[in-house]
Amino acid sequence: MLGDLSFHGITREVSGTVAVEAPDGDTIVIEGDQVFDIRDFDVPSPKILMLKILPDVRVHMLLRAERES
């Protein structure tokens, strides 16, 4: 899947894989996750005292849609 992600005022084109399921005739479930480097969106990697925090974050998406009666 290919799309645009906007974060912190910056938009980047991203690609990834999602799983799509239709457990019944009225429901669709879309799920996936992706790792992003926050520096790509001009967010500096934070530092706490002498500890360096890695700039990679994992985002998990779960979308469930049900048809209205």
9-44 residue pLDDT tens: 999 999 989 999 999 999 999 999 999 999 999 988
- What's residue 24's pLDDT? 95
Asked if residue 47 belongs to a domain, the reply is yes
Q: Considering its fold, how many domains does the chain have in total? A: 1
The answer to the question of residue 11 being in a domain is: no
Domain boundaries, position 53? 18-66
Q: Quick one: the chain helix, strand, coil %, rounded to 5?
A: 5, 65, 30
Query: CA-CA distance, 36 to 33, in Å (whole number)?
Result: 10
Rg of the chain on CA atoms, in Å? 17
Asked if residue 40 is part of any domain, the answer here is yes
Residue 36 located in a structural domain:
yes
In this structure, is residue 12 part of a structural domain? no
Residue 6 lies in a domain: no
Q: Indicate whether 28 belongs to any domain.
A: yes
Give the pLDDT band of residue 49 (cuts 50, 70, 90): confident
3 within a domain of the structure (yes/no): no
The pLDDT-based confidence of 65 (bands split at 50, 70, 90) is very high
This prediction has a pTM of 0.68
